[in-house]
Amino acid sequence: MKDRIAVVTGAAGGIGSATVRRLLADGLQVVATDVEGASVRDLSEHHIALDVTNPHDVARAMGEILDRFGRVDVLVNNAGITGSQEATTAGETAIEEFDRVMAVNVRGPFLCARALLPAMVDAGGGQIITIASVAGLIAFPGRCAYTTSKGAAVMLARSLAVDYGHLGIRSNAICPGMVETPMTQWRLDQPDLRARVESRIPIGRVAQPDDIADAVSVLASGRLAYANGSAIVLDGGWSSW
């Protein structure tokens, strides 16, 4: 599998960096991308700056990747944000903040998939893996922008599955629950809050980035050959209550 090419967006983050390391260990060549290109230089031999919200930047970056490798076999749409403290309920969320969350979490995966789909079609197939959230399936209170964006990300993954499955392109969403990353660390560093969170997870702990990277690895390998349009929940059983 050494000649298989994967692109990971938002690679500097906890899930992103774990995914890059795992896919490299699996034998893929991995292009690590992030809005701050310098932040992913040490992750992979292949790296590039990429603002997933900017169509011109996406076209440039994906064009450079295709020029270098000739194709992309796996796209991992991982770049995402939760939004600032202004991203709360619908009545309290600033319009600009709502748009910012949607731009990264929905527009980004759309633009990246759109840029690579012609090459994947020409190659006879590919894998598109979108990191969504259990919040895209169950509304999180006071998180209107984030929940809306992740619901849209799930449906984008399903739309790609419906439209391109017959061309050999499989698209799936991974829906994590609480994951211990730099984005969530400020909450989990509060012992009382961490205890409350973990008390609601039947498995008894929050996820680690490697838990999510494991699922990406399985999908990228092609072993789940019949998975297409799936929303794979990885929340330790939290949403089963």
Is 146 one of the annotated active-site residues of the chain? yes
In tens, the pLDDT along 42-54 reads: 999 999 999 999 9
Quote the pLDDT of residue 196: 82
Q: How confident is the model at residue 185 (pLDDT cuts 50, 70, 90)?
A: low
CA distances from 22 to 27, 41, 43 (A): 9, 16, 11
In tens, the pLDDT along 74-113 reads: 999 999 998 888 889 999 999 999 999 999 999 999 999 9
Q: Which of 146, 213, 216, 236 is catalytic?
A: 146
CA distance 170 to 14: 25
Of 53-62, 91-100, 133-142, 178-187, least confident by mean pLDDT is: 178-187
Of 28-32, 184-188, 223-227, least confident by mean pLDDT is: 184-188
Question: What's the domain range around 94?
Answer: 5-180+208-234
More confident residue, 178 or 224: 224
Quote the pLDDT of residue 86: 85
Domain assignment present for residue 12? The answer is yes
Tell me what percent of the residues of the chain surpass a pLDDT of 70. Answer: 98
Check pLDDT > 90 for residue 208.
Answer: yes
CATH assignment of the domain containing 91: 3.40.50.720
Number of domains within the chain? 1
Quote the pLDDT of residue 1: 41
Q: Is the dihedral of CA 93, 97, 101, 102 positive or negative?
A: positive
Three-state SS sequence of the chain: CCCCEEEECCCCCHHHHHHHHHHHHCCCEEEEEECCHHHHCCCCCEEEECCCCCHHHHHHHHHHHHHHHCCCCEEEECCCCCCCCCCCCCCCCCHHHHHHHHHHHHHHHHHHHHHHHHHHHHHCCEEEEEECCHHHCCCCCCCHHHHHHHHHHHHHHHHHHHHHHHHCEEEEEEEECCECCCCCHHHHCCHHHHHHHHHCCCCCCCECHHHHHHHHHHHHHCCCCCCCCCEEEECCCHHHC
Quote the pLDDT of residue 189: 75
Domain assignment present for residue 200? The answer is no
More confident residue, 192 or 116: 116
Tell me what percent of the residues of the chain surpass a pLDDT of 90. Answer: 83
Domain assignment present for residue 32? The answer is yes
- What rounded mean pLDDT belongs to the chain? 94
Domain assignment present for residue 148? The answer is yes
Domain assignment present for residue 197? The answer is no
Q: Which residues contact 76 (CB under 8 A, 6 or more apart)?
A: 6, 7, 8, 9, 16, 19, 23, 129, 131, 216, 220
CA distances from 143 to 89, 93, 164, 194 (A): 6, 9, 32, 19
The two three-digit tokens of residue 176, written as one number: 């994590």
CA distance 115 to 64: 11
In tens, the pLDDT along 144-177 reads: 999 999 999 999 999 999 999 999 999 999 999 9
Q: Which residue has the tokens 């209107």?
A: 144
Check pLDDT > 50 for residue 197.
Answer: yes
CA distance 81 to 187: 15
Q: How confident is the model at residue 194 (pLDDT cuts 50, 70, 90)?
A: confident
Check pLDDT > 90 for residue 118.
Answer: yes
Quote the pLDDT of residue 181: 80
Domain assignment present for residue 195? The answer is no
Domain assignment present for residue 192? The answer is no
Check pLDDT > 60 for residue 122.
Answer: yes
Domain assignment present for residue 75? The answer is yes
Q: Is the dihedral of CA 235, 184, 31, 44 positive or negative?
A: negative
Check pLDDT > 80 for residue 184.
Answer: no
